[in-house]
Amino acid sequence: MTHIFDELVEKQRAADQAHSRVEELRHSYGPPTQQGGWTGQQTSTYETAWRAWRDLAREAQSSVTEYAKESGKSRNEIEADVQQTVSGSGR
């Protein structure tokens, strides 16, 4: 599968947004080990968000690796370029 750089950036943005959602839930719910713990709904919502983040991050990383192989550049270089583009976009 051929990837273009813009696709890599979009995949990383999606993974970053999913990670932000996981962090928001952690902050909102507090630790799951607190007295009373999380409700079943909170646990389900968190687990769904965490799985989405994990899957999106895995896909982004896999795509970066494939793109690096296709372009002949190092994976680290591509990953840094993607991160710089994502960070510099203000999103």
Please list the pLDDT of the chain residue by residue as tens digits (91 residues).
567 999 999 999 999 999 999 999 999 999 989 899 999 999 999 999 999 999 999 999 999 999 999 999 999 999 999 999 999 864 4
Model confidence, pTM:
0.87
**pLDDT value at residue 91:** 43
Contact between residue 78 and residue 12 where contact means Cβ atoms under 8 Å apart: no
The candidate with the shortest Cα–Cα distance to 50, out of 71, 79, 21, 78, is 21
- What letters, b where the CB count within 10 A reaches 16 and e where it falls short, cover 44-72? ebbeebbebbeebbeebbebbebbbeeee
